[in-house]
Amino acid sequence: MPTTETKPGNSNISVSSKPLKNCERRPAIPPRSISFHRFRKLIHVICVIIFFTLPFANLMRFDIPHQRFYFFGYELWISEFSVIFFSLMFLMFIVAAMAMLYGRVYCGYLCPQMIFSEASIALESKLTRTVNKYVRWNVSRRRLLSHTLFYVIAAVASIVLAFVFISYFVEPRDLIQRLLRFDIKTAGGIAGATTTLLTLLDLLFLRQRFCTSVCPYGYLQGMLGDGDTLIVHYRDENRECIECKKCVRVCHMGIDIRTSPYQIECIHCGECIDACAHVLGRLGKEGLIHYVWGEQGEELGKHDGSWYQRIGLRNSKRVVVLLIIIFYGTGLFTALSMRRAVLVRVAPDRTTMYRLGKDGTVYNRFRLQVANRGHGQAIAQFSIEGLPDASFANFENAVVVSAGETVQTEFEVQASSKAALAPGVNHFRLISRVGNETEVFEETFITPVRDSH
């Protein structure tokens, strides 16, 4: 027999001590070991550190005033534009391949615009809660205080972010001097002031609207993805959704993932996955939103396929893309490794074919350019081979070049009238030695042609 007890304070209400069968709750599902929200924030922190580190460590920076491109320890000059071009194309190809395999993972996890937009929203919300909690003013004054604090912090953050961004194109030490002088007259100062203003407007007003109204990368996803691309998908074959709408409330883009996984606003961040799993997990059910390999594919992390399928290599097209990236990266690394730190160029000056001295000595003039693209001083030494009785005239056969310096000069090669040289064109080799590196230049030496009459 079920027992009843009278609830204190109200003798007309009795509570049964036996639970009703229809109201029995399922055991709650333990929380997942992976939280996409925490994982995203960890990736965001790493990306911010990388964003601040790259220009100051010269790991990646395009120094426009000095016409240099720094790429992971290599200092490329503008004369090496082909290497610079293929380096940038390699990075773009990786981003495109990432979109084909893993969808909009760049937008959701790596994009600086998304990272700083979410940080701006979180900061504004945090300041509002803090002011409401600790400040005992009326509503309008608390709102004014929280907005003022947010605008001040956003302005300072805009200056810092603009400084870091412009440091990718202007040497940071030069840029800090411009900033301290409030330089808004030169190109670097104008670019810094403009970037600061645009960054502030972005943090205050634009935010995620940039992704749906300005950024072309989101529109490119439709062309890069296919039936096996990783997406966030809502699956509810058994109609277990309780319409709590938490997946909509946590969405930074303000969409309902249940409508379609291919909405242009969806950045596939996975926040809705955590929200659904949290709510339904308390009811003893699995979440209804997952990362899946294509609309008809299995969920991410399921061990139904081989290891290469679990990392996204699900068909031959993806294998080909991976091989292209490997070959491309290997070729680029090989080209950078074979690059000479000191570039030597020699060219004959044929404005005059030769010069004849009073004693019959023949002189040929050459142009020399030595560019030191390394980080230390270099000495280029020269010698002549294959030209009998030839030597340098008024040239010490060595050029000292400081780091980052280019030396342009001219020199003459002389041969006495008694040298056993053929009339007309004589071929010889000019040897350049810089440290352990040797380079050979095949050159010609012109002598007078004697008239047979």
Least confident span in 41-55, 145-159, 203-217, 292-306: 292-306
Reply yes or no on whether the pLDDT at 241 is more than 70: yes
Note whether 315 and 228 are within 8 A (CB).
yes
Provide the token pair at 198. Answer: 């645009």
Nearest to 193 by CA among 181, 205, 203: 181
Predicted pLDDT at 21:
46
**345-389 residue pLDDT tens:** 999 998 889 999 988 899 999 999 999 988 789 999 999 999 988
How far is the CA of 260 from the CAs of 109, 231, 252, 289, in angstroms?
20, 11, 16, 11
Q: In the chain, what percentage of residues exceed pLDDT 70?
A: 91
What pLDDT score was predicted for residue 82? Answer: 84
Distance in angstroms (rounded) separating the CA atoms of residues 76 and 71? 7
Q: Tokens at residue 451, please? A: 């008239």
109-120: pLDDT as tens digits: 999 999 999 999
Q: And the tokens for 134?
A: 């600790």
What's the CA gap between 442 and 427, in Å, rounded? 7
Please tell me the distance from the alpha carbon of residue 402 to that of residue 417, in angstroms, as a whole number. Answer: 38
Span 266-289, mean pLDDT?
Answer: 92
Contact 108, 270 (CB under 8 A): yes
The pLDDT of 297-319, averaged and rounded, is 82
The values of phi and psi at residue 50, to 5°, are -65, -40
Give the pLDDT of residue 23: 44
Stronger pLDDT, 244 or 220, i.e. the higher one: 244
Chain mean position to CA 76: 17
In 3D space, the residue among 291, 271, 289 whose CA is nearest the CA of residue 280 turns out to be 289
- Amino acid type, 31: P
Q: Please write the tens of the pLDDT for every residue from 3-60.
A: 444 444 444 444 444 444 444 455 655 555 578 999 999 999 999 999 999 999 988 8
| pLDDT above 80 (res 72) | yes
| Tokens coding 114 | 């998304």
- pLDDT exceeds 80 at position 196: yes
Q: Which carries the bigger pLDDT value, residue 303 or residue 426?
A: 426
Mean pLDDT of the chain: 86
For the cut 80, the answer to whether the pLDDT of residue 294 exceeds it is yes
pLDDT score recorded for residue 27: 60
Least confident of 71-85, 266-280, 345-359, 367-381: 71-85
Q: How many CB atoms lie within 10 A of CB 36?
A: 21
**Would you tell me how many other CB atoms lie within 10 Å of the CB of residue 351?**
6
Please tell me the distance from the alpha carbon of residue 378 to that of residue 402, in angstroms, as a whole number. Answer: 6
What pLDDT shows up at residue 44?
96
pLDDT at 16: 43
Does the pLDDT of residue 169 top 50, yes or no?
A: yes
| Higher-scoring residue by pLDDT: 258, 66 | 258
Of the two residues 231 and 186, the one the predictor is more confident about is 231
Query: What proportion of the chain, given as a percentage, has pLDDT over 90?
Result: 49
| Block residue for tokens 């062309």 | 223
What pLDDT sits at residue 32?
Answer: 58
User: What's the confidence (pLDDT) of residue 155?
Assistant: 96
Residue, of 349 and 213, whose pLDDT is higher: 349
User: What digits encode the pLDDT tens for the residues 118-132?
Assistant: 999 999 999 999 999
User: Which pLDDT does position 29 carry in this prediction?
Assistant: 58
The one-character DSSP state at 330 is: H
Cβ pair 51, 164 in contact under 8 A: yes
- pLDDT for position 158: 96
